[in-house]
Amino acid sequence: MARLFALDQNFPQPIVKVLQDFQADAELVPVSASDARMAELDDWQLLLALHHHERPWDGLITTDSSILFQPLELSVLIQTRLTLVVALEAGHNPVKATGLLFAHLAGICKRTRPDEAQLWRLQRRTQAHVAPWDQLKTVAEHQNADASGLFAAHRLNDEQLAANPLA
Per-residue model confidence (pLDDT) at position 43: 94
All structural domains of the chain: 3-122 (3.40.50), 132-162 (no CATH)
Report CA Rg, the chain: 23
Residue 117's φ and ψ, nearest 5 degrees, are -70, 140
Q: What is the pLDDT along the chain (167 residues), one digit of tens a residue?
A: 799 999 998 887 878 788 888 888 999 999 989 889 999 999 999 999 999 999 999 999 998 888 999 999 999 999 999 999 998 866 667 888 888 898 899 999 999 988 999 999 988 765 666 778 888 899 999 999 999 999 999 988 899 988 888 77
- What is the C-alpha separation between 58 and 43, in angstroms, rounded? 15
- pTM score: 0.78
Q: How are strands ordered across the β-sheet holding 118-122?
A: 26-30, 3-7, 59-62, 83-87, 118-122
- Within 8 A by CB and 6+ apart from 156, the residues are none
